[in-house]
Structure 1
Amino acid sequence: MDLARMRLANRARCVKLVLAMKVIVVGAGLAGLTCAKVLHEHGAEVEAFEAADGVGGRVRTDERDGFLLDRGFQVYFTAYPAARRHLDHDALELRAFDPGAIIHRGWGRTVLSDPLRDPGGLPSTLFSRTATLSDKIRVATLALKCMLPGSAPEAAGETALEDESVLDFLRECGFSREFVESFFRPFYGGILLDRSLAASCSVFTFTFRMMVRGEAVVPARGMGEIPRQLASRLPEGRVRLESPVEGLLREQGRVRGIRGPWGEREADAVAVATDAPEARKLTGEKVPEDSVGEICLYYETSGVGSGKKILLNAEEGSFINNAVEISAVSERYAPPGRHLLYAITLGGFDLPDEELLRRGVEELSSWYPRADFRPLGLRRIPYGQFAQPPGMHAALPRNRTATPGLFLAGEYTVDSSINGAILSGERAAREVLGR
């Protein structure tokens, strides 16, 4: 047999191997759905088991009286490299936020914007006392560096910078104390779910690059459209909802399947794509333990007139960290002629719902005294992200575990973001396939 025929025979054997491979994915969040999608595209027989009544994990959208309520204040960056490979942006009908933010402190407020993308915001940005002229020059310099050609990291933990906290990085960049306190603390507090800015600066540099190279958006019909689109790439019936997995089937040091109240299911490989606490319980693998959370408050409002900009609270000891009139970004978030506002608090998990909603109204009303705010509800998200202190990303678990047949797919193997979850699912599938 000549070399060409041998290669063809080897390829045929590889194709048969993949076609015969049966893989179970535990969890139908972004990582699990991406993992299942890639495996299916390469011919594997995939089945996903999800404990909840819908796909998406922490990225879901509920509908209440015609309002779309995302589970947490989340945005999508169009420049996310891994996500772009798996999502059809046009089909999501993305709606963009205006660049910059409206910064509130007590009764006063100021507007910061990107004059290149929002020329109308140039006067307010130039005369804003929140940022000095040096601050504005430093922001522009960072933005220019992000636009330079060259290799771009796939995720936050893959930046080339020496790791340190976001706060230390900003101080070394020379930003004024006022700018750090008034803008970076609430803005990145909303991204990191922690106003202390103690997280790894690699998260800051990666997300800053994403904002410079693309737009911050939401799908027109809510963030839940992202997992729904991923799930639509799988054959019907391959995602089993309300099917919790209670344990793994192990035999002679190898994982050979799963078990649940519905019975047992065997497979050639199992990819666990739950959140970190559940993955630890199911697999016994070492995964990040610390986490940060948020509480999302939902209000119908008579309209605050803030447009498509994010609202930041610069007041020290504030209750609300950030907010947005989300129906101004996409009109489909609210019934015709009505308005929906999201507000985020990073604490208060021990307070009753009524107190949280009351305090939200009190603070929002101090910003917009002419607007009305009617509580629609709230969602507590104690596990919003795994904590990402400096040095954390280098110690994250790999997708392939030391146990044959067992793989991990979750943002905690990359970084805590939509892009990180999708990239982890992609990488886990490649490990299963041996690529």
Structure 2
Amino acid sequence: MSADADYADAPRIPPIPPRPPHRPAGPAPDEDPKTTVLRPVPAEPPRPPAGRSPPRPPRPPSRPRRPPPPRPSRTRPHPGPHRAPPVDDPAAAGQATPPHPRTEPPAAPPPPAPAPPRSFRDTAAFHLANSAALWDDARATAPRTPRHPPAPEPPPAPDRPSTPAHPTGVEAEPRRPLADRLPGNRVVAAAVSLVLGIGLIAGAAAGSWLTDTPAKGTPTPEAVFARGRDAWRNTPVDALFPRTVEGLAAGPGGADRTWIRIAVAPDTGCTPAAEGPLAKELAPAGCARLLRATYVDATRTGVITVGAQTTQADRSKMMDLNARFSTNDLATRSALMPPPLAAKGTAAEDFGPAQRASWTIRVLTDVPVVVYAVSGFADGREVADPQPADAAVQPGTATAPAEAGLGHDAKGLADKISTTFRTASGLPAQPTEQAP
């Protein structure tokens, strides 16, 4: 497009027109009036004297900037050969014909919105802007021809494959797709069940992998018995004789009891000095080692000595020993009462044979261990009539050991130490064996 089209709507100062040729003052009778309207020719100006340059015409007043016309929504086509219809009447075109320089009054004020000079209406930009509407109307009424013809649509595919005719001439029923033959609910239920099953299997595998010890079967009684023979040397003393033992519902009337360890004797052999007359009754089973410890209750009114003798007998001999103690009531004989462990500088310092109030003896059969316990008063008082723990724990017993809870102390602490030896031998915690 030409430069005139770029500046068709922009306000600018028109250039100084060249010197026109000499023409008569008025229009010729045979001159075309349209040419006069589109391009007026001014009269011949007076010639300046020789040696002077012609005076410059006065500058037209500045015109306000007119907003650019809105662009059509479609692409403007290339301008055609036709032009906008000529304008015969200047007033119909929306522009006033400027008066002749000789007749224009010098004091007339400029119009409020002067139109561009008539000379711009004879440019290519003016005709191009005014012919856009004609082009748009022609394109809107003309039929549109697609650039590329549409591709032919493929023939619709059959929903189901054709089924060959039956050999006998009867057409077989077409086979339905899998989605039609399987209900949706069954498919969803099967998928959910599969996911849940995989999740459960994975969770079980992860749980067994994360645990410290893999799941194993219960050890055989022979393995437990053999391991219990060495529990006294392979297990720390704090595991066999804990520093604090909690007895839930082990006291009179189902009260909780707490026992605190105050002394531990060095491991020694099974001699009459350590066990008294009880050593003679346990001699048939043999003696591997003897461990003893003394506890005090939370109120420091009772003291309890616990002993654990590891034997050299096998399972059958331990069962024979248990049967002999049960048949002959050896565990309830006061002559076989275990001796106490009196530790200097402790609450059991005055715990001697005369202070013994209650006792119990347990011959275990699943491990080669004999556990016993004897209790008394911490203040050193003597007890004239000691009572076995099984009798002192019976409801309604009015003896001194029963009312002071010394029978509960001996029985409850013997149960706890029996459990620690069973646990050290590989057995889980279980109810203690009844005293013979």
Higher relative contact order (CA closer than 8 Å, sequence separation 6+): 1
Structure whose residues are more often strand by fraction:
1
TM-score, scaled to structure 1 = 0.22
Structure whose residues are more often helix by fraction:
1
TM-score, scaled to structure 2 = 0.22
Larger radius of gyration: 2
